[in-house]
Amino acid sequence: MRAIPSSGQRLPVIGMGTWLTFDVGSGEAERARRRDVLQAFFAGGGTLIDSSPMYGRAEGVVGDLLAERGLSAAAFAATKVWTSGRAAGERQMRDSLRLWRRQQIELMQIHNMVDWETHVPTLRQWQADGRIRYIGITTSHGSRHDALEAALRRERFDFVQFTYSLADRSVEQRLLPLAAERGIAVIINRPFDGGALVQRLARQPLPGWAAAIGCTSWAQVCLKWIVSHPAVTCAIPATTRPDHMRENMAAARGPLPDAALRRLIAEQVTRG
């Protein structure tokens, strides 16, 4: 568990993303697998589920399945506003509340910084009204770091979300230290580099030190390496497979690599 700096509320270090994975129709076969993924997520102690209007039908699918299983209250709902203009932003956020079947969204994030200066006053008003609890801003794929840094220095956000993995460590120099300095919770997207990192590492045997931190797979090594950074609050891998979800959630248990082992892991992965 890690604390959200602005409130002290604690979150499990492994959450769940929904990009591509929950953008499905209403067919029972499609939804049954996502239902099993959600079941594995909550059974493993997860709470934070991240989505966006950009993700097609994902918000509605998540909202339906949470309501069906009586799990809405157990979820830390994190979604995004992804449009330009104040009125359009408000409409989109109202749609998100409806799709999630919620009176309050825990975290509303400005997706990929789209028209962020326009949306900040709206998010602050919604926060004051109790319709959202926390506000955040996001980017991904290692993009717009200079603009994101400027936004974080100018405005007070509860959360920031960006890409960080053993394949992309670009946030280590400025954004992670800045988030720690400013007391901003950090959500990490693309922890497996879209799957390419784990596929590459799977060709190598798991090193002996993996057992010392309770890892039985490279996916768990990648996740534990990320969440062992002291500035990171939560990583949000996405999957359509319940067995992979159980594997991901296991990374939230047991010891984490210390600073020396983090360096060794990074060196070995880079050499590999």
pLDDT tens sequence across 143-157: 899 999 999 999 999
CA distance 202 to 198: 6
Q: What angle do CA 108, 30, 60 make, to 5 degrees?
A: 25
Q: Give the confidence band of 270 by pLDDT, cuts at 50, 70, 90.
A: confident
DSSP 8-class letter at 54:
G
- Residue 160, strand partner residues: 137, 186
The verdict on domain 10-192+230-255 having CATH code 3.20.20.100 is yes
- The DSSP 8-state label assigned to residue 168 in this structure reads B
Render pLDDT for 190-215 as a digit per residue (tens, 0 to 9).
999 999 999 999 999 999 999 999 99
Q: In whole angstroms, how large is the CA radius of gyration of the chain?
A: 18
Which residue type does 25 have? Answer: G
**Quick check: 20 pLDDT over 70?**
yes
- Mean pLDDT of all residues in the chain? 97
What is the per-residue pLDDT for 257? Answer: 97
Is residue 271 predicted with pLDDT exceeding 80? no
Residues 52 and 82 sit within 8 Å (Cβ to Cβ): yes
Whether the Cβ atoms of residue 136 and residue 123 lie closer than 8 Å to each other: no
Per-residue pLDDT at 272 exceeds 70: no
Domain ranges of the chain: 10-192+230-255
